[in-house]
Structure 1
């Protein structure tokens, strides 16, 4: 696929009918005449001008002060329940689920600060990111490195690490190269997708630890690992001190499993099942960010649940836009895409997951077909 072909991208070959629904309908938009890169660069600059003029890139200090205080309050509430009801197992299992919600919301704060959405000064955003690293045990530098690469080239093979996962395949070529346990999981990946998401939190945790051991790029090479290790030690100490070994182990298992499902189910609709690009494909920024992303229809509940990431197209176009402005920017971005003939896709929560499962099922079909 090259730049001239981008306006006729089709996802029909990606999202199958295995789960009884129509393929993603965002495609088959043809340009009347070829458009140059310079013209497309000007398009993005014009869109950015409109968004900036609307004040949507302005910092939202009161909003983020409230978000930080509320999420820290959620952490404190979980610890209080752990202390006050330490001998009641069912209460602690509910508390573990609540902490899964809390940790994912901490992750949203880390995500926003990593994109410099909160403050103008880099170090102030870094303080929040380091605090999130301490509370969750996730390595900020590793996540930032991985996530920034994803933003530069979403859904691009051999570039975007989010589509290079050992237990899943996102192209038929990836599926055909799988071996061992990976081949088995990919064969039935549409059915195993949600159970395997339970490993997401652990994958993020150990991925960061491996990054630190390799001593790769870290903005704070001493402070960061010290905070992460101290945070993990505190997490384990508090849980086992108040709950004991058996309740503590059950608490951690439920917390990490549900946290993984929550995080994975929030991240997956962003790009899974949308067009995938070859490594050598060249595409302008505006088209790549819009065509490889999917918005999920917003509501007060959805916006909270997804941490604003349901406005994925807008977030990818303007990563430093404060979370609470993404919904307002959607009207501007959607109208602009219509004006320029750029396919813009938004769907509901359930439909997005049906599309993801259909896509995963279709990609893995060759592994389920009997050889002649």
Structure 2
């Protein structure tokens, strides 16, 4: 691996990172990611930035195909010094609000502070001493990160134990591979699904021809709901295991049939998998002004994904105070938010001259796909005969997809959002932040098999139809390592999520009462002062 035999100390690695290099540890080797590849990485730039200075061995092997893993050694610039057989991680600059930006001439890059880090002053389960959250940039004149910036806060985790979890995970991964669980069951897995998609589509078309518009809308929405599961697999390269083929198929389904950008979804979803449930970095839990699943969101955090402050303003205060009551209503129309994110992503990419590998042809196909979708779906709405019926068709078809959105949030909203720092291993983080939704095997198709989220998060490229068998091995692994494998029934899972939302809502109401009391006391004090005067 690599041509050099140089051994890098932790201090030497830190110095090179501060100098602007992107260095990642992989199986004891130090990888230097050149700017050209950082910008062309199919998984997005942020997916790499979150591992600068860290050991990303487990994540790299979980997310990449074999032929890609064979290429990675070319980026090695030597080995790293280990402590008790493990790399003692540095804190990635992006987690402290630091990124590299190109200079005006475009020939080089320089440090840019996009947010201010807030380190926890206490050590509680909600806000551990290891936690760093980002808020809006202050007025300080920092020009570049310092050595202390790369030093993680103290953590209660044992580096040795986390390394043990990592090593056990590698053995588990080998068992998964040896069991043949990466082989896609095209006939037994996707065969019945294709028939299901076709049946739902035909029922929708038949009902539409007979002017049974609400029935047609319902079955069209159910078809969209089911198709999303296949798009999910394709986005993870879990079907043909060929990036170009899987991306092409996913564009045809997601963009042309569903009107959504698979490019946006892949970039968003990769970050969600890498920094699961981190309030400042995971876009899948960043839903202000409508939802806040942790009190930390009430401090107006900065999102490193959306590149904006998630303001807890008056509207957010109002919405979050009743979020547990609005939950299912908002979920019923969550698909409209997917349109907004999809089109914003495609618009941004239109001005991005440094698109990821395959980005140019993929972007063009997506634009054509979105146009095609609104052409055929627009004709469907126009054929409803009146704007009232067209509006009803639009709402019913989109609301029919809502069980998918409810299911996905069940797997994370009720789990820990604490940041345990870069010392935490990949398997420990995924088991801590993810839960399964228990359901009878006969109705597993309703969840698309993705109710087994724990196993999916540990092995994202694993074909969805093999998650059940793999989950048995994961449960053995969790028990052997003393880790918790969380799972709830659908009803209990819903109750857990509503409980979390209600808990934060009550804190918002309490904040409002305190503010009212303080305002009342201030007014009374001023009146008293006037009377005395």
Structure-1-length-normalised TM-score: 0.85
Report the 3-state secondary structure (helix = DSSP H, G, I; strand = E; otherwise coil) of the residue aligned with 1:40. Answer: helix
8 Å CA contact 1:103–1:136 kept in 2: the answer is yes
Query: Structure 1 residues 112, 10: closer, same or farther in 2, change over 3 A?
Result: same
Cα distance in 1 for partners of 2:426, 2:369 equals 36
126, 136, 139: which one pairs with 2:258?
Answer: 136
* Structure 1 residues 4-19: aligned runs within 5 Å: none
Cα distance in 1 for partners of 2:257, 2:168 equals 41
Is 2:274 the counterpart of 1:173? Answer: no
* Structure 1 residues 316-331: aligned runs within 5 Å: 316-331=457-472
Larger Rg belongs to:
2
Query: Structure 1 residues 129, 273: closer, same or farther in 2, change over 3 A?
Result: same
Residue by residue over 1:179-204, the C-alpha shift from the partner in whole angstroms, topping out at 9 and shown as x without a partner, is 13221110111111111112310000
Moved more, 320-329 or 240-249: 240-249
* Structure 1 residues 85-96: aligned runs within 5 Å: 85-86=210-211, 91-96=212-217
Q: Which residue of 1 aligns with 2:49?
A: none
8 Å CA contact 1:270–1:309 kept in 2: the answer is no
Query: Structure 1 residues 92, 156: closer, same or farther in 2, change over 3 A?
Result: same
167, 171, 174: which one pairs with 1:42?
Answer: 167
> Could you say which structure has the higher helix fraction?
1
- Give the superposition deviation at 1:58: 1.3
Report the 3-state secondary structure (helix = DSSP H, G, I; strand = E; otherwise coil) of the residue aligned with 2:418. Answer: coil
Report the 3-state secondary structure (helix = DSSP H, G, I; strand = E; otherwise coil) of the residue aligned with 2:367. Answer: helix
Cα distance in 2 for partners of 1:313, 1:293 equals 6
For this pair of structures, how many residues does the alignment match? 343
297, 316, 320: which one pairs with 1:182?
Answer: 316
148, 156, 159: which one pairs with 2:270?
Answer: 148
8 Å CA contact 2:165–2:481 kept in 1: the answer is no
Higher RCO (C-alpha 8 Å, min separation 6): 1
8 Å CA contact 2:204–2:218 kept in 1: the answer is no
508, 519, 526: which one pairs with 1:367?
Answer: 508
* Structure 1 unpaired stretches of 5+: 14-29
Moved more, 210-219 or 263-272: 210-219
Cα distance in 1 for partners of 2:159, 2:427 equals 16
* Structure 2 unpaired stretches of 5+: 1-88, 90-122, 129-155, 301-311, 518-533
8 Å CA contact 2:220–2:397 kept in 1: the answer is yes
8 Å CA contact 2:407–2:447 kept in 1: the answer is yes
100, 103, 117: which one pairs with 2:224?
Answer: 103
197, 202, 222: which one pairs with 1:71?
Answer: 197
- Give the superposition deviation at 1:246: 2.9
Report the 3-state secondary structure (helix = DSSP H, G, I; strand = E; otherwise coil) of the residue aligned with 2:239. Answer: coil
Is 2:243 the counterpart of 1:122? Answer: yes
Query: Structure 1 residues 138, 108: closer, same or farther in 2, change over 3 A?
Result: same
8 Å CA contact 2:411–2:434 kept in 1: the answer is yes
Cα distance in 2 for partners of 1:52, 1:10 equals 36
Q: Which residue of 1 aligns with 2:411?
A: 270
Cα distance in 2 for partners of 1:278, 1:151 equals 14
8 Å CA contact 1:188–1:364 kept in 2: the answer is yes
Is 2:336 the counterpart of 1:202? Answer: yes
Cα distance in 1 for partners of 2:406, 2:378 equals 26
Structure-2-length-normalised TM-score: 0.61
Q: Which residue of 2 aligns with 1:16?
A: none
Report the 3-state secondary structure (helix = DSSP H, G, I; strand = E; otherwise coil) of the residue aligned with 1:332. Answer: helix
Cα distance in 2 for partners of 1:344, 1:125 equals 31
8 Å CA contact 2:207–2:215 kept in 1: the answer is no
Query: Structure 1 residues 300, 98: closer, same or farther in 2, change over 3 A?
Result: farther
- Give the superposition deviation at 1:280: 4.7
369, 376, 383: which one pairs with 1:227?
Answer: 369
Report the 3-state secondary structure (helix = DSSP H, G, I; strand = E; otherwise coil) of the residue aligned with 1:35. Answer: helix
Residue by residue over 1:48-105, the C-alpha shift from the partner in whole angstroms, topping out at 9 and shown as x without a partner, is 112222221212221224423431442233122111x21xxxx422332222221111
* Structure 1 residues 248-267: aligned runs within 5 Å: 248-259=390-401, 261-267=402-408
What is the Cα-based RMSD across aligned positions, in Å?
A: 2.5
Is 2:53 the counterpart of 1:53? Answer: no
